[in-house]
């Protein structure tokens, strides 16, 4: 399979820019280190050549940026989307969040992105350089010399259980398209379900009590595109800025998960960005698992315009009291 | 009467067309159920936002029950179907978070089912009493 | 200076915890966290705790005052209880400096009594940074990671911990620990310091310079075109402000309980869109202005008001936490580079 | 902040017996916003209402809380009271301290405590109430009657006589319904056709009435005053406007073996037919299931003999769109199927018939020209056994029949028994019954005449089994009074089958968003006070679709429904329900979630310009609610994650305040 | 004054009088439960008023420091706190803390000068305390001109006081104007900036401005054209504030905290601040 390099993408972008197909390019900008790339909009070819990067650390799901970017853009925007990003892309289109005509999507294959936290866990602090290899990375460190790490050990949590290598939206594809994958993404949820209520309560109490209500999970989430979040709106009756106690943390995360239920594509950004390392995706996945089980398999973003399970029904749906008791049987 | 008897707080959301009328019928027929149950009238069970349920727990409710028309009988044709989905997911999520699953319940009570209303409330209250005070979704600020 | 053998450190910690609440960095599932000392806990080897020591003096939320309202009558209830003494062990140079920065805000007239109270009851035992990380750039702001400030400074040598009382509070505490420490350790401290200095010289961000910023540079940077690209990807979340040891913006909120009103203070973030929104309008309408405010405040406004001291301590937390990897180093470099042209 | 007045009603002793009303009004006086609190014996009385009006003026009240009976009872009353004193009717909230409190709690302490909480909750809500004004919508001055039985006919005539246009949609080729199939009617024994057919003619000739026969309602949109109805006119392959009803085609049609549904399949008709002589419209209809021409293009006899050239084999179902201001449901009833009642051998013997079949047998226009003969062999029967309550009052056999009483069987059975004995004195007639119910004018007298003058054997007890043996039907029954088993060798057994709503009613109810009970009878807005209205505004109920009833009752209800319709159509404008959803366009992000859950299609989207930062203009897609179409269910409010959608009168803040007040 | 020690804990204030000034402005008189003035203040300083559970907001103290009996606040309805206050009745308690801000330099800079007050709409509220302070210490100040305009006659705040007290004072010239012609109005009609130019004041005065941003902008332009120096012009700002003590960060503009370093700024100081207000 063709390895996607920054050069290939830069060439593609430069070509589309110069032919006037697009007016700007959404990609990733190089940072101070090898791992701190930032999503960025490029309009200038020199800037593109010097600062555009693509590699193991381009995990950020950039589809949400298109809402803002398309608002001001006169010309089309080129965006490079990984397979999982395309699901969010479609979901945003389903919700009329931007004009498809203003975007030129180049689908790029993805072999899984690296999590710098995991690298730091294994290589320790003081990382000087990270270089990619065929099946992993080599890390030069201040204190522990040079360490080589296997890709599967440093994958982002969400990439470990990649749901699909298939692009569900694109104008052009680089490389071959993949397929929807069999995966074990619900195993963690199932493990929690298998616990006693006390254990589950303690687990979540411990996880959620770390929340500092920085709102990173919400602000990065491609499903959270409200003009004003109910938790920011004093009129909503549930506004809370800083969680005063564990109730408010729960309230925030339950309601947030509920609001994105059926719309969440399971992109995993919430867990990736959480500065307190709370496994927030386990909340969203619970809803996805339940939805699949109760109402039939549904993948948000698979199709533009599909009807989300929570704005749909059948006359034979499961009764809530049975839904919670399903574990007892 | 015992001094330390646990008096649960129970919020019942009743849809205007079926369940509230069912509660009225229970009243007309003098079918008693515990005074711990207080009813909030909503036009349809689908008006019940999950936020209301959490709010009730925050404010010290020990149980929340939602009553609506039987599936197929919604005054607005489909409201209770949405309620059913929303609550199935919400209850399941609360259970997942370790909240006692019997603290929340959804029942279909028609305008004709005064007796069912009373029995449901009696049973639910009993259940809540057996569960005791709501500790897992409480907001200590709201405790006296 | 006083010293104690590495193997005796828990005896020493136990001694401290007899008279005050003691917090030490402990490895938790997701990183090191200051944890109340209890026998059996092990000190973390991590460089930094996930959250800074700011939390101890300026907690994320705190109850300021309560009200009881009945009809037209209001009753004000100050429900603060007596503050206990506490000790923080193992604060790094950057975090200790951040206290100085916060002090200048909260202890200037009119004094924030909540903060002052905690400051008065808290003792900070700092620890020289044996292993600075690649995200560290405290030297940019004149902080010496090999010789932190604090009430007591601690150096961890190969075989012994060395303690030096700095403030009156610190010296008093150290004196109380005479039974578990002995005199000496100057050599160890020197060795540790030298070792640290060698490493500091190798850090990738050692050349980040702040000298282009500071007092009275508002005009120079306020309208810089670079803000646009820098702020472009900013999500407007509060991560950087909440992990930052020096960010101190707050909000005051009333919470209507069932029986009264609790007024509490909570952290706020200038990155939030509603931070400055008022009924009459929004002076910082886009993320650009809000993003600019945060960095201008750290690099220009704060120094202007505080004898040139920067509002950043180079701890590097925002570098590793920002969801989109935008941070003050990139801002300083970009703006600085613009200046050269 | 509001200035709230609290009014605690004693409801005589209904409330005051278990709630200390004085304590309640004192406790509630201390709640935030309350400036006046009083109690009175009957708040709903004129004096009580005057008290409220006076307090509104005296204390400059802006909000009212009445602690009384259920809002379903008197919310309207008190809203009007408030309005008459100059405050918005939607500033009134009711705390239900009767049905939800005094009537269910025996202990005065408990009752009082709960009443205070309920009052407090209502106060918390009123504090956040805002004056609401109902929107106005025009009224289409035409009514639709679904069903052309006696109920529909009577309703249509009454409405039309008041000067409004009425359309009747009847699924059969003719109007007339069940009554047209009847022979005589109880208790006066006048001939059904004699009294019905003139009315059918009146309908046909009325300039304000249009009949859509052989048609069905296909779709209903809109709301009270403004229904858009799609009527499907089924192809009858005969041009209605041309057919003279001469009947020649029905004589010449070669397909002769079509079961005649008018006679319940007891005889046959042709593939082209006119159901009965007095049919309205008197127009032939081709039964496509049997017509050779339509099935395989071979025949065309009817077309050849029709001098009026009315036959049109190419005719298609047509859809007609019409606007109506009001819709009357008169879908009627049917006897239940006897399939599940095998103990009566209905499927085994032709001589076991239902009462309606018996009715046809006795009818001079029926399959036997009114001669009482056994369907199996055409012989005259001597022993007839009538079985009552077949499928009715099935408390323990709900899977087979109905729990309710079908109401009409006792009387028509008495009629059948009496007529049989009258015409054929040589017969022995037995009636097996659980109870004989005769609560109508001259009903009991009628029944007694049957039993006493005509010598009908009334036996209290149920028939256990009917077994065909040779040409006899062995009836085994119990006589509860004599307390013995009896066996009768009968010639005919007549089953008083329970009646149920017509099967088409369910889908019509769904289209109309009108509610039904578990038996598929339409529910009335109030069982006592609004018996001819559906809870869905603009939908009215006439006849047996609402519950079993006999002809006089049906006609009375039909007239009542007509009166309600006339009352509605007489208005030029309708005031809507102001408790509708509305979207806060500043919050809305146009995601379409609300639109997808709206059962009424009340939500649409527009691109709207908003002020952006730095004097820019942003165009955003935002939701808008049509208040005339919205019925106020609130489904959208929960579907909306931004909280941009809220429901007036049941606003998020209000409900949360209620939650808080309860949990306080 | 307990506020010095505990800046974030308020004390109780009682509303003893509510005056309806205009359709959307009411003036509230506030004293301590003992009937005293809550604290001493300078003209142009502010106080935080709050209703527990509703919110806290900063208001300029409109009464003069020379009034030793009570404080007054003229408050325009424009948010949840103000809306709540507008419903309040006499006897209602609120919480109050302060004083906040720098106030006008009445002693340091204004003394001996001719003063020109220019206000629009509710902008008169903060100036009223200075005007009355100057009236109380009449000998210390030169001539006083007041230009005050509003949308209509009914929107002029403190109209009665203006007519019955200010206009009758010696050495005070009041120039009223309203935006549009109105029945029963015989005074000037037109916008404030234009009126100021029309009046053609001599440039030896110290000008004090307060009003909506658009008025400030054009009046300032006019004054500069007339030859005023920026150092002669003062204005007072409004920004979102929470703590009132220069710590919460909300009202931070450049190196200034409006609640502490302002709200009164001299034009030249203001111009040095980044353009974010």
Instruction: Decide: A239 and A233 in contact? Cβ < 8 Å.
Output: yes
Contact C70 D614 (CB under 8 A): no
Within a domain: residue B2?
A: no
Q: Pick the closest to residue D7 from D109, D85, D108 (CA basis).
A: D85
DSSP state of D514: -
**Per the domain annotation, does B141 fall within a domain?**
no
Cβ–Cβ gap B144/C262 under 8 Å: no
Is B30 in the A-facing interface, judged by CB distances under 8 Å? no
- Any domain includes B143: no
Task: Give residue C279's pLDDT band: very low, low, confident or very high (50, 70, 90).
Answer: low
Whether residues B139 and A248 touch (CB distance < 8 A) is answered with yes
Phi and psi at residue B125, to the nearest 5°: -60, -45
- Please report residues of C whose CB lies closer than 8 A to that of E8: 64-65, 112-114, 252, 265
CA of B98, closest CA in chain D: separation in Å? 22
D596 in reach of chain A (CB within 8 A): yes
**Confidence band (pLDDT; 50, 70, 90) for C79?**
confident
Closest CA to B54 of B137, B142, B140, B141: B137
- Integer Cα distance of B14 and B121 in angstroms: 12
| CA-based nearest distance E145→chain D, Å | 36
With contacts defined as CB-CB under 8 Å, which chain C residues touch E250? 249, 251, 268, 275-276
Q: Please give the pLDDT value at position C90.
A: 93
User: What residues does each domain of chain A span?
Assistant: 6-113+164-173, 118-148, 187-328
CB contact under 8 A, A313 and B137: no
Mutate to test the interface with C, among A68, A212, A229 (most CBs of C within 10 A): A212
Tokens representing A164 are 């699909």
Tell me if the bond preceding D187 is cis, omega within 30° of 0: yes
**Short-list E269, E42, E58, CA closest to E134:** E42
Where does the pLDDT of residue C280 fall: very low under 50, low under 70, confident under 90, or very high at 90 and above? low
Residues of chain C with Cβ-Cβ distance to B141 below 8 Å are 255, 257, 262
Residue of D nearest to E54 (CA): D1
Tens-place pLDDT, residues D612-643: 777 788 889 999 998 877 889 999 999 999 99
Q: Rounded to an integer, what distance in angstroms lies between the CA atom of residue D55 and that of residue D67?
A: 15
Q: Which residues pair with D166 in a beta bridge?
A: D143, D209
CB atoms within 10 A of CB A14: 16
Q: Map tokens 């919205």 to a residue.
A: D630
Mean pLDDT of chain C: 91
Cis peptide before E99 (omega within 30 of 0): yes
pLDDT of residue D477: 94
Q: Residues 264..303 of A with a Cβ closer than 8 Å to C: which?
A: 269, 272-273, 275-277
Q: What is the pLDDT of residue C341?
A: 40
C277 — phi, psi (to 5°)? Answer: -65, 135
Statement: residue C51 has pLDDT above 60: yes
* A:59-78 residues touching chain D, CB 8 A cutoff: 71
pLDDT of residue E1: 38
Highest mean predicted confidence (pLDDT) among D31-35, D112-116, D527-531, E196-200 = D112-116
CA-to-CA separations, D606 to B101, D490, D600, D602, D622, in angstroms, rounded:
42, 75, 18, 13, 6
Helix (H) or strand (E) holding C62: strand C61-70
Q: Which of C74, C78, C248 is nearest residue E93 as measured by Cβ atoms?
A: C74
Tell me the torsion sign for CA atoms D145, D146, D151, D152.
positive
> Length of chain D in residues, anyone?
664
With CB atoms and an 8 Å threshold, state whether D113 touches B75: no
Residue B141 has pLDDT above 60, yes or no: yes
Contact E93 C73 (CB under 8 A): yes
Whole-angstrom distance, CA of residue E50 vs CA of residue B30 = 48
| Residue C28 contacts D, CB cutoff 8 Å | no
For the segment D2-51, what is each residue's pLDDT rounded down to a tens digit? 899 999 999 999 999 999 999 999 999 999 889 999 999 999 999 999 99
Which tokens belong to C84?
Answer: 């206990």
Q: What is the pLDDT of residues C96-135, one digit of tens each?
A: 999 999 999 999 988 999 999 999 999 999 999 989 999 9
H, E, C per residue of chain E? CCCCCCCCCCEEEEEEEEEEEECCEEEEEEECCCCCCCCCCCCCCEEEEEECCCEEEEEECCCCCCCCCCEEEEEECCCHHHHHHHHCCCCCEEEEEEEECCCCCCCCCCCCCEEEEEEEHHHHHHHHHHHHHHHHCHHHCCCEEEEEEECCHHHCCCHHHHHHHHCCCCCEEEEEEECCCCCCCCCEECCHHHHHHHHCCCCCEEEEEECCHHHHHHHHHHHHHHCCCHHHEEEECCCCCCCCCCCCCCCEECCEEHHHHCCEEEHHHHHHCCCCC
Q: Mutual orientation of helices D21-28 and D108-126 as an angle, nearest 10°? A: 30
Do E247 and C65 count as a contact with CB atoms less than 8 A apart? no
Q: Express each pLDDT in E215-246 by its tens digit.
A: 888 999 999 998 899 999 999 887 777 888 88
Question: Across the interface, which of A201, A309, A311 has its CB nearest the CB of B136?
Answer: A201
pLDDT in tens, chain A (329 residues): 457 888 999 999 999 999 999 999 999 999 989 999 999 999 989 999 999 999 999 999 999 999 999 987 889 999 999 999 999 999 999 999 999 999 999 999 998 999 998 999 899 888 999 998 888 999 999 999 999 999 999 999 889 889 999 999 999 999 888 899 988 899 999 999 999 999 999 999 999 988 989 999 999 999 999 989 999 888 888 887 777 777 888 899 999 999 999 999 999 999 999 999 999 999 999 999 999 999 999 999 999 989 999 999 988 899 999 988 875 43
Q: Residue C131: its chain A contacts at CB < 8 A?
A: 124-126, 142-143
Q: Which residues of A touch D652 (CB under 8 A)?
A: 236-237
User: Do B and E have ≥3 inter-chain CB pairs under 8 A?
Assistant: no
Phi then psi dihedrals of residue A146, to 5 deg: -100, 130
pLDDT above 80 (res B2): no
Q: In this complex, do D643 and A233 lie within 8 Å of one another by their Cβ atoms?
A: yes
| Owner of token pair 């609560």 | D439
Q: Tell whether C286 lies on the interface with D, counting CB pairs under 8 A.
A: yes
Tell me A2's DSSP state.
Answer: P
Task: Check residue E224 and give left, alpha or beta (phi > 0: left; psi -120 to 50: alpha).
Answer: alpha
Q: Are strands A52-53 and A24-29 parallel, antiparallel or unpaired?
A: antiparallel
In chain D, % helix, strand, coil (3-state, to 5) comes to 30, 25, 40
Instruction: Transcribe D609-641 into DSSP letters.
Output: EEE-GGG-EEEEEEEEE-TTT-----HHHHH-T
| CB environment D213-248: b (16+ within 10 A), e (fewer) | bbbbbbebebbbbbbebebbbbbbbbebeebebbeb
Q: What is the CATH number of the domain that holds B105?
A: 3.40.50
Please give the domain boundaries of chain E with CATH numbers for all domains. Answer: 11-100 (2.40.30.10), 114-236 (3.40.50.80)
Domains within chain D, CATH numbers bracketed? 4-126 (3.40.50), 142-234+317-332+502-569 (3.50.50.60), 248-305 (no CATH), 335-498 (3.50.50.60), 581-648 (3.30.70.3270)
D-E contacts (CB, under 8 Å):
3
CB < 8 Å to A310, chain D: 593, 639
User: In chain E, how long is the greatest CA-to-CA distance?
Assistant: 53
Interface B:C, Cβ pairs < 8 A: 10
Minimal Cα–Cα distance from A105 to chain D, Å? 22
What strand order describes the sheet that includes D92-96? D34-40, D4-9, D63-68, D92-96
Q: How confident is the model at residue B1 (pLDDT cuts 50, 70, 90)?
A: very low
Chains that touch C (3 or more CB pairs under 8 A): A, B, D, E
Residue A2 confidence (pLDDT): 59
- pTM of the predicted model as reported, rounded to 2 decimal places: 0.80
Domain residue limits at B23: 10-135
Number of domains, chain B: 1
Tokens 């193997």, residue? C7
Interface probe with A: pick from C323, C326, C328, most Cβ of A within 10 Å: C323
Query: Are C282 and D660 an interchain contact pair (Cβ–Cβ within 8 Å)?
Result: no
Neighbours, chain A (3 or more CB pairs < 8 A): B, C, D
Q: Comparing C56-65, D20-29, D39-48, D522-531, which segment has the lowest mean pLDDT? A: D522-531
How many whole angstroms from its chain centre is CA A157?
A: 10
Which tops the pLDDT comparison, D611 or A231?
A231
Q: Is A147 helix (H, G, I), strand (E, B) or coil?
A: strand
CB D366 within 8 A of CB D463: no
* Tokens encoding C91: 């604060």
Give contacts of D1 with chain E, Cβ < 8 Å.
84, 87-88
Percent of chain C whose predicted confidence (pLDDT) is above 90: 72
pLDDT over threshold 70, residue C17: yes
pLDDT value of position E186 = 86
CB contact under 8 A, A254 and B93: yes
Has residue E113 got a pLDDT over 80? Answer: yes
Contact C313, C246 (CB under 8 A): yes
List residues of chain E with CB under 8 Å from any CB of chain C: 4-12, 50, 52-56, 78-79, 89, 91-95, 238-240, 242-243, 245-250, 252-255, 272-277
State how far the Cα of D104 lies from the Cα of D428, in Å rounded to an integer: 55
Distance, C-alpha E207 to centroid of its chain: 14
Walk across the sheet containing C21-28 and list its strands: C31-36, C21-28, C86-91, C122-127, C152-156, C160-165, C2-5, C182-183
Cα dihedral A253→A259→A264→A267 (10° resolution):
-30
Please report residues of B whose CB lies closer than 8 A to that of C257: 141-142
Residues 256-285 of C with CB under 8 A from A: 264, 266-269, 272-274
Residues 6+ apart with CB under 8 A from B3: none
């Amino acid at each position: 399979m063709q390895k996607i390099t920054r050069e290939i993408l830069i060439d593609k972008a430069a070509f589309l820019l110069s032919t006037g197909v697009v007016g700007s390019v959404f990609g990733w900008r190089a940072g101070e280190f090898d791992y701190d790339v930032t999503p960025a909009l490029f309009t200038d070819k020199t800037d593109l050549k010097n600062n555009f990067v693509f590699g193991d650390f381009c995990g950020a799901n950039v589809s949400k940026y298109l809402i803002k970017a398309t608002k001001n853009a006169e010309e089309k925007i080129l965006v490079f989307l990984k397979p999982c990003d395309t699901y969010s892309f479609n979901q945003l289109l389903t919700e009329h969040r931007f004009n498809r005509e203003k975007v030129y999507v180049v689908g790029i294959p993805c072999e899984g992105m690296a999590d710098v936290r995991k690298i730091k866990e294994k290589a320790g602090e003081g990382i000087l350089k990270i270089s990619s290899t065929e099946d992993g990375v080599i890390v030069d460190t201040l204190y522990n010399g040079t360490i080589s790490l296997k890709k599967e050990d440093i994958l982002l949590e969400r990439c470990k259980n990649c749901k699909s290598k298939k692009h569900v939206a694109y104008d052009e594809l680089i490389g071959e398209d993949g397929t929807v994958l069999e995966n074990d993404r619900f195993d963690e949820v199932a493990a929690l379900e298998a616990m006693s209520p006390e254990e589950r309560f303690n687990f979540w109490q411990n996880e959620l009590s770390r929340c500092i209500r920085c709102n990173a999970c919400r602000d990065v989430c491609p499903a959270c595109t409200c003009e004003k979040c109910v938790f920011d709106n004093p009129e909503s009756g549930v506004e809370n800025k800083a969680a005063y106690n564990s109730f408010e943390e729960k309230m925030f995360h339950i309601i947030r998960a509920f609001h994105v239920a059926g719309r969440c594509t399971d992109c995993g950004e919430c867990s990736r960005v959480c500065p307190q390392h709370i496994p927030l995706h386990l909340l969203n996945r619970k809803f996805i698992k339940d939805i699949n089980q109760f109402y039939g398999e549904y993948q948000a973003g698979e199709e533009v315009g599909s009807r989300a399970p929570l704005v749909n029904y059948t006359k034979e749906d499961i009764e809530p009291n049975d839904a919670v008791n399903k574990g007892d049987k | 009467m015992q001094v330390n008897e646990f008096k649960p707080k129970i919020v019942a959301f009743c849809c205007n067309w079926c369940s509230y009328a069912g509660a009225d019928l229970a009243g007309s027929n003098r079918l008693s159920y515990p005074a711990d149950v207080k009813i909030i009238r909503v036009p349809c069970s689908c008006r019940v936002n999950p936020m209301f349920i959490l709010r009730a727990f925050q404010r010290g409710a020990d149980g929340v029950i939602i009553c609506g028309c039987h599936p197929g009988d919604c005054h607005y044709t489909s409201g209770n179907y949405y309620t059913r989905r929303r609550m199935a997911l919400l209850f399941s999520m609360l259970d997942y978070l370790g909240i006692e699953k019997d603290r929340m319940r959804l029942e279909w009570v028609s305008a004709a089912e005064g007796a069912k209303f009373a029995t449901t409330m009696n049973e639910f209250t009993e259940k809540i009493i057996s569960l005791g005070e709501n500790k897992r979704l409480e907001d200590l600020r709201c405790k006296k | 200076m006083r010293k104690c053998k590495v193997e005796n450190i828990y005896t020493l910690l136990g001694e401290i915890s007899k008279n005050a609440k003691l917090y030490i960095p402990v490895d938790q599932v997701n990183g090191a966290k200051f944890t109340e000392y209890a026998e059996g806990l092990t000190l973390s080897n991590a460089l930094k705790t996930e959250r800074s020591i700011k939390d101890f003096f300026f907690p994320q939320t705190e109850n300021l005052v309560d009200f009881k309202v009945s009809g037209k009558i209001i009753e004000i209830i100050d429900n603060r209880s007596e503050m206990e003494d506490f000790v923080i062990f193992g604060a790094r140079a950057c975090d200790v400096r951040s206290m100085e920065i916060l002090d200048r805000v909260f202890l200037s007239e009119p004094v924030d009594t909540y903060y002052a109270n905690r400051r008065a009851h808290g003792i900070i035992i700092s620890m020289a940074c044996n292993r600075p990380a690649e995200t560290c750039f405290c030297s940019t702001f004149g902080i010496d990671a090999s010789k932190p400030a604090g009430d007591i400074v601690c150096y961890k040598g190969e075989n012994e911990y060395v303690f030096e009382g700095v403030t009156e509070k610190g010296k008093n505490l150290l004196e109380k620990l005479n039974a578990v420490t002995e005199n000496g350790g100057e050599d160890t401290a020197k060795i540790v310091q030298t070792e640290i200095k060698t490493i500091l010289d190798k850090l990738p961000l050692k050349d980040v310079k702040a000298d282009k910023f500071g007092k009275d540079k508002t005009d120079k940077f306020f309208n810089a075109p670079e803000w646009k690209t820098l702020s472009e990807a900013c999500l407007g979340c509060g991560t950087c402000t909440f992990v930052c040891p020096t960010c101190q913006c707050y909000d005051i909120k009333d919470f209507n309980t069932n029986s009264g009103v609790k007024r509490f203070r909570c952290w706020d973030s200038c990155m939030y869109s509603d931070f400055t929104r008022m009924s009459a309008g929004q002076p910082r309408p886009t993320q650009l202005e809000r993003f600019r405010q945060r960095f201008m405040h750290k690099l220009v406004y704060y120094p202007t008001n505080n004898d040139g001291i920067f509002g950043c301590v180079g701890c590097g937390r925002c570098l590793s936490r920002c969801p989109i990897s935008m941070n003050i180093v990139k801002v300083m470099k970009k703006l600085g580079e613009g200046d050269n042209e | 902040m509001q200035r709230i007045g609290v009014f605690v009603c004693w409801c005589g002793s209904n409330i005051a017996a278990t709630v200390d009303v004085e304590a309640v009004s004192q406790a509630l006086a201390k709640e935030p916003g309350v400036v006046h609190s009083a109690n009175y014996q009957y708040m709903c009385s004129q004096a009580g209402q005057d008290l409220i009006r006076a307090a509104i003026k005296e204390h400059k009240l802006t909000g009212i809380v009445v602690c009384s009976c259920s809002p379903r009872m008197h919310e309207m009353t008190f809203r009007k009271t408030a309005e008459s004193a100059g405050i918005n009717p939607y500033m009134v909230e009711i705390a239900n301290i009767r049905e939800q409190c005094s009537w269910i709690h025996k202990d005065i302490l408990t009752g009082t405590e709960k009443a205070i909480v309920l009052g407090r909750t209502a106060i918390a809500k009123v504090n956040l109430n805002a004056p609401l004004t109902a929107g106005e919508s025009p009224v289409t001055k035409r009514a639709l009657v679904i069903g052309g039985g006696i109920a529909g006919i009577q309703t249509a005539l009454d409405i039309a006589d008041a000067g409004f246009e009425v359309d009747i949609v009847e699924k059969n080729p003719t109007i007339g319904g069940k009554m047209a199939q009847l022979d005589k009617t109880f208790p006066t024994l006048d001939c059904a056709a004699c009294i019905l057919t003139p009315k059918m003619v009146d309908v046909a000739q009325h300039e304000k009435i249009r009949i859509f026969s052989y048609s069905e309602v296909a779709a209903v949109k809109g709301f009270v005053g403004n229904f858009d109805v799609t009527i499907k006119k089924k192809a009858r392959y005969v041009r209605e406007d041309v057919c003279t009803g001469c009947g020649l085609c029905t004589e010449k049609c070669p397909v002769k073996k079509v079961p005649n549904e008018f006679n319940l399949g007891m005889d046959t008709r042709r593939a082209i037919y006119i159901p009965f002589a007095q049919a309205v419209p008197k127009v032939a209809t081709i039964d496509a299931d049997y017509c050779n021409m339509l099935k395989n293009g071979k025949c065309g006899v009817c077309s050849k003999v029709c001098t009026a050239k009315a036959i049109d084999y190419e005719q298609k179902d047509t859809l007609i769109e019409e606007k109506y201001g009001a819709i009357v449901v008169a879908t009627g009833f049917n006897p239940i199927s006897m399939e599940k009642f095998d103990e009566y051998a209905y499927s085994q013997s032709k001589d076991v018939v239902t009462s309606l079949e018996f009715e046809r047998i006795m009818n001079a226009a029926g399959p036997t020209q009114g001669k009482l003969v056994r369907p199996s062999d055409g012989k005259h029967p001597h022993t007839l056994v009538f079985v009552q309550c077949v499928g009715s009052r099935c408390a323990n056999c709900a899977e087979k029949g109905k729990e309710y009483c079908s109401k009409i069987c006792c009387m028509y059975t008495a009629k059948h028994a009496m007529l049989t004995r009258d015409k054929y004195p040589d017969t022995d007639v037995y009636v097996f019954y659980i109870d004989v119910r005769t609560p109508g004018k001259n009903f009991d007298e009628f029944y007694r005449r049957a039993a006493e003058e005509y010598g009908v054997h009334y036996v209290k007890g149920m028939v256990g089994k009917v077994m065909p043996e040779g040409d006899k039907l062995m009836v085994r029954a119990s006589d509860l009074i004599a307390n013995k088993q009896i066996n009768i060798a009968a010639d005919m057994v007549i089953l008083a089958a329970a009646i149920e709503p017509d099967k088409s009613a369910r889908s019509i109810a769904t289209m109309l968003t009108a509610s039904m009970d578990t038996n598929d009878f339409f529910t009335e807005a109030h069982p006592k006070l609004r018996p001819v209205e559906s809870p869905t505004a603009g939908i009215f109920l006439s006849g047996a679709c609402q519950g079993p009833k006999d002809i006089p009752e049906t006609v009375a209800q039909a007239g009542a429904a007509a009166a309600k319709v006339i009352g509605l159509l007489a208005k030029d404008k309708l005031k809507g329900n102001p408790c509708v959803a509305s979207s806060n366009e500043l919050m809305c992000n146009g995601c379409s979630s609300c639109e997808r859950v709206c059962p009424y299609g009340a939500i649409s989207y527009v691109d709207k310009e908003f002020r952006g930062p730095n004097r820019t203009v942003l165009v955003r897609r935002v939701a808008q609610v049509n208040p005339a179409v919205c019925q106020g269910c609130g489904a959208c409010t929960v579907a909306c994650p931004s909280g941009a959608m809220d429901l007036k009168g049941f606003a998020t803040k209000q409900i949360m305040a209620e939650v808080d007040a309860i949990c306080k | 004054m307990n506020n010095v020690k505990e800046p974030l804990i308020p004390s109780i204030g009682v509303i003893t009088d509510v005056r309806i000034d205009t359709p959307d402005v009411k003036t509230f008189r506030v004293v301590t439960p003992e009937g005293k003035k809550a604290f001493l203040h300078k003209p142009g300083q502010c106080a935080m008023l709050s209703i527990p559970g509703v919110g806290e907001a900063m208001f300029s103290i409109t009464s003069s420091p020379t009034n030793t009996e009570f404080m007054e606040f003229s408050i325009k309805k424009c948010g949840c706190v103000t809306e709540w206050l507008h419903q309040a009745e006499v006897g209602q308690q609120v919480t109050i803390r302060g004083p906040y801000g720098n106030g006008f330099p009445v002693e340091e800079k204004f003394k001996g000068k001719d003063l020109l007050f220019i206000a629009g709409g509710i902008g008169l509220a903060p100036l009223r305390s200075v005007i009355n302070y100057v009236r109380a210490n009449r000998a210390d100040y030169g001539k006083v001109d007041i230009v005050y305009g509003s949308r209509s006659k009914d929107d002029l705040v403190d109209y009665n006081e203006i007519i019955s007290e200010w206009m009758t004072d010696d050495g005070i010239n009041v120039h009223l104007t309203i935006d549009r012609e109105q029945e029963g109005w015989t005074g000037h009609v037109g916008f404030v900036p234009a009126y100021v130019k029309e009046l053609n004041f001599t440039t030896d005065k110290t000008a004090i401005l307060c009003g909506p941003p658009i008025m400030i902008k054009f009046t300032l332009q006019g004054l500069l054209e007339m030859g005023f120096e920026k150092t002669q012009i003062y204005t007072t700002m409004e920004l979102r504030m929470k703590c009132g003590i220069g710590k919460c960060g909300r009202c931070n503009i450049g190196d200034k905290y409006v609640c502490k370093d302002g709200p009164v700024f001299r034009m030249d100081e203001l111009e040095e601040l980044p353009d974010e207000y």
